[in-house]
Amino acid sequence: MISKTLPGRLRESLPAYAFLAPWLIGLFGLTLIPMVLSLYYSFTDYSLLAPPVWEGLANYQRMLSDDRYQHSLVVTFTYVLLSVPLEMVFALAVAVVLNQGLKAVAFYRAVYYVPSLLGGSVAIAILWRQIFGADGLVNQVLGTVGLDGPGWISSPDTSLFTLVLLRVWQFGAPMVIFLAGLRQIPGDVLEAAEVDGAGRVRRFVHITLPLLSPIIFFNLVLQIIGAFQAFTPAFIVSGGSGGPSDSTLFYTLYLYQKAFGSFEMGYAAAMAWVLLLIIAGFTAANFVMGKRWVFYADEREAR
Amino acid sequence: MSTPVRQRPPRTESAPRSVPRRTRAANRQGLMSRRTVAHAAIILIGLVMVYPLVWMLSSSFEPTTEIFGSTSLVPKSPSLDNYSAGWSGPGAPFSVYLLNSLLICALTIVGNVLSCSLAAYAFARMSFVGRRVLFGVMLGTIMLPAHVTLIAQYSIFRDLGWVDTYLPLVVPKFLGTEAFFIFLMVQFIRGLPRELDEAARIDGCGVFQIYLRIVLPLLRPALVTTAIFSFIWSYNDFFTALIYVSDPARLTVPLALRTFLDSSGQSEWGQMFAMSLVTMVPVLVAFVLFQRRIVEGVATTGLK
């Protein structure tokens, strides 16, 4: 192997490249080249109708003075920082309870998972729009106990929270992952701790959580990346506007409005790159902070 | 997965003695009541979660006037009017949209299964120049937000004259853009014994024959998982369709629902619910049929 020249090794690589050909075409044609192009567009004024015109950092500078843009950042961060922890805590709590050796776990798991399966669909967003409408289901239920609820979706104070709730409602997917992780925790470790006199809380904090931390980390990274890109619920619930008063103007929704509403493709491309940086930043921060709390059993043993 | 506490105290006869009999009995009783509480909590949360869906189902059989002012789950005078009116809907009958969506889903499944299994076989079984780098790039694309390529992809597809066709929705799937599935299959193929490949090679099979005759049949569980998730994702995909499809006769199911919402406003909730439920049926059927595969897929890879 080592004695072979590079051309020889390249020739031997040809069959593999034949297998990889469709993916490689996609990688270059649909990912790498578009990435380079969109980076270029982000420095231009580009309306699709005319060729892009270079204008340097103008799009990025514009973000600094674009109130709606900054508002969309606030909305998105609020959404991510509220919904992801809530969803995770809920998912973990339910997984722990389901893992208590209850019968019919498979059934409950299925019931809890269905909202995750449907949650991103237009149909559920339509349902949400009715449930939290002024005379929707929630207010009808409140009415039966004599309470007069607000128009949850039509009020800028509450509309975002209906979308947070929609995401929390979909805790089934991370829960299934937690449940699989909990199954991996050997029962004898917990038993041993019990024999040593550790109570439930201690066992949970000192054994279950550390052993589960890689899974918590995995879910956290995945959910944050997903939440930053949420689009359909906000689009449907607000009828594409991000209203009322821009209270549901998600980052991706504003990007969509700029790109396909007013055809400011250059600005939208710049927004996309900032979104990538934000997501990459969060993911990197997760990994850095993860070193402190994520416990990899194998790693510790290797030391 | 190994554990931090490698050596639990040996379970000699003396160990249980430290827990007195009385406490153990009490523990068992505590366990019973804890289970009851756990059960109750699980059922309660489950009911709250499912309630909106069941309520939607029951409302779809009621006239819109009855939907408002009733939290009941039993329709007073059930009728199928919403379904018949909704089905003929604004624009084309709903069957047109369903067929559009199912066509796209079928092509997506074929595309993902083909392109991803080919790439996965190369990554898992073949050695080639640049393997490590390309594998890293492939993993990186899984995390990449679609928005970063969106604008340029749109302008490319527009230049190709593909806007308002299904090509932008389908062609990328034949080019392995859903790299998650490649990763899934690589992991699966790595678990298959290499001896099978070698035996086939001795019998005179080329790499492609090994892929076709040995790996592909054994890969079936991963292919089924890929097919199911391809179906659900592509069926529910609203964003891509929103951008590329506008011809009313070519709308996919999510787009059709959305125009329904826009054109009938708040006035036809009954019909909207009926059609929303219709659009959920294929996904729910897939879930019922492949529940285990779906749950395993989520549990092992985080696919949704």
**DSSP letters of A178-189?**
HHHHHHHS-HHH
pLDDT per residue, tens digit, chain A (303 aa), is 455 677 888 888 999 999 999 999 999 999 999 999 999 999 999 999 899 999 999 999 999 999 999 999 999 999 999 999 999 999 999 999 998 877 788 889 999 999 999 998 999 999 999 999 988 899 988 988 888 889 999 999 999 999 999 999 999 999 999 999 999 888 888 889 989 988 888 999 999 999 999 999 999 999 999 999 999 999 999 999 998 999 999 999 999 999 999 999 999 999 999 999 999 999 999 999 999 999 886 655 444
pLDDT higher than threshold 50 for residue B1: no
Q: Where are the beta strands (DSSP E) in A221-270?
A: none
Rg of the Cα atoms in chain B: 26
- pLDDT tens track for B128-170: 999 999 999 999 999 899 999 999 999 999 999 999 999 999 9
Which residues 141-180 on chain B approach chain A with CB closer than 8 angstroms? Answer: 141, 143-156, 158, 172, 174-177, 179
How many Å lie between the alpha carbon of B2 and the closest alpha carbon of chain A? 6
Structure confidence at residue B8 as a pLDDT band (50, 70, 90): very low
With an 8 Å Cβ cutoff, is B139 touching chain A?
no
- pLDDT tens track for B103-135: 999 999 999 999 999 999 999 999 999 999 999
From chain A, pick out residues whose CB is under 8 angstroms from the CB of B19: 195
DSSP A78: H
- Would you call B34 and A6 a contact, using CB atoms and an 8 Å cutoff? no
Cα B81 vs. chain centroid, distance in angstroms?
Answer: 31
Closest CB from A17, A102, A260 relative to B38: A102
From chain B, pick out residues whose CB is under 8 angstroms from the CB of A211: 1, 3-4
- pLDDT tens track for B203-240: 999 999 999 999 999 999 999 999 999 999 999 999 99
- Would you call B149 and A30 a contact, using CB atoms and an 8 Å cutoff? yes
Closest CB from B18, B143, B287 relative to A195: B18
The token pair at B149 is 């390529």
From chain A, pick out residues whose CB is under 8 angstroms from the CB of B116: 23
- Cα separation, B62 vs B268, in Å, equals 11
Residue with tokens 């009020």: A155
CA neighbor of B153 nearest in space, from A42, A262, A32, A52: A32
Encoded amino acid at B235, one letter: Y
CA quadruple A265, A267, A270, A271: dihedral positive or negative?
negative
Between the CA of residue B2 and those of A273, B54, B241, what are the distances in Å?
A: 40, 43, 45
- Would you call B299 and A169 a contact, using CB atoms and an 8 Å cutoff? no
- Residue in chain B closest to A170 (alpha carbons) equals B49
> What pLDDT is recorded for position B84?
92
- Would you call A193 and B49 a contact, using CB atoms and an 8 Å cutoff? no
Closest CB from A26, A94, A232 relative to B175: A26
How many Å lie between the alpha carbon of A35 and the closest alpha carbon of chain B? 5
- Would you call B70 and A140 a contact, using CB atoms and an 8 Å cutoff? yes
With an 8 Å Cβ cutoff, is B24 touching chain A?
no
Domain ranges, ordered by start, for chain A: 2-41, 62-302
- Cα separation, B29 vs B146, in Å, equals 53
- Cα separation, B242 vs B263, in Å, equals 16
Half-sphere exposure (Cβ direction) of A140: Cα atoms closer than 13 Å:
17
> What pLDDT is recorded for position B167?
98
The token pair at A220 is 């956290």
Query: What is the homologous superfamily of the domain A62-302 according to CATH?
Result: MetI-like (1.10.3720.10)
Q: CA triplet A74, A78, A83: central angle to 5 degrees?
A: 155
Which residues 26-65 on chain B approach chain A with CB closer than 8 angstroms? Answer: 34-35, 38-39, 41-42, 45-46, 49-50, 52-53, 55-56
Structure confidence at residue B28 as a pLDDT band (50, 70, 90): low
From chain A, pick out residues whose CB is under 8 angstroms from the CB of B281: none
> What pLDDT is recorded for position A250?
98
Q: Cβ–Cβ contacts within 10 Å for residue B10, how many?
A: 8
Can you tell me the ipTM of this complex?
A: 0.92
- Would you call A268 and B257 a contact, using CB atoms and an 8 Å cutoff? no
SS3 label, residue B160: coil
> What pLDDT is recorded for position B266?
66
The token pair at A42 is 């982000």
- Cα separation, A226 vs A230, in Å, equals 6
- Would you call B126 and A188 a contact, using CB atoms and an 8 Å cutoff? no
Encoded amino acid at B57, one letter: L
- Are B222 and B185 in contact by the 8 Å Cβ rule? The answer is yes
Residue with tokens 């749950």: B295
Encoded amino acid at A295, one letter: F
Q: Cis (ω within 30 of 0) for the bond into B4?
A: no
pLDDT higher than threshold 80 for residue B91: no
pLDDT higher than threshold 50 for residue B9: no
- Would you call B299 and A176 a contact, using CB atoms and an 8 Å cutoff? yes
- Cα separation, A172 vs A91, in Å, equals 7
- Cα separation, B178 vs B231, in Å, equals 12
> What pLDDT is recorded for position A152?
94
DSSP A54: E
Question: How many residues are listed for chain A in this entry?
Answer: 303
- Would you call B42 and A127 a contact, using CB atoms and an 8 Å cutoff? no
- Would you call A265 and B155 a contact, using CB atoms and an 8 Å cutoff? yes
pLDDT higher than threshold 90 for residue B78: no
- pLDDT tens track for B235-282: 999 999 999 999 999 999 999 999 888 877 667 889 999 999 999 999
Encoded amino acid at B149, one letter: T
- Would you call A26 and B176 a contact, using CB atoms and an 8 Å cutoff? yes
> Rounded to the nearest 5°, which phi and psi values hold at B233?
-65, -45
> What pLDDT is recorded for position A296?
81
> What pLDDT is recorded for position B16?
43
- Would you call B16 and A195 a contact, using CB atoms and an 8 Å cutoff? yes
Q: Cβ–Cβ contacts within 10 Å for residue B146, how many?
A: 15
- Cα separation, B91 vs B99, in Å, equals 15
Percent over 90 (pLDDT), chain B = 69
> What pLDDT is recorded for position A298?
63
- Residue in chain A closest to B238 (alpha carbons) equals A232
- Cα separation, B150 vs B134, in Å, equals 22
- Cα separation, B223 vs B115, in Å, equals 11
- Cα separation, A61 vs A52, in Å, equals 18
Bridge partners, residue A45, by sequence: A53
Closest CB from B152, B261, B269 relative to A236: B261
- pLDDT tens track for B192-213: 999 999 999 999 999 999 999 9
pLDDT higher than threshold 90 for residue B172: yes
pLDDT higher than threshold 50 for residue B6: no
Encoded amino acid at B81, one letter: D
For helices A172-184 and B291-301, the axis angle rounded to 10 degrees is 70
Residues 6 or more apart whose CB falls under 8 angstroms from that of A38 comprise A269, A272, A273, B148, B149, B150, B151, B152
Q: What is the pTM of this model?
A: 0.90
With an 8 Å Cβ cutoff, is A23 touching chain B?
yes
Residue with tokens 């067929």: B99
Encoded amino acid at B73, one letter: L
- Are A137 and B52 in contact by the 8 Å Cβ rule? The answer is yes
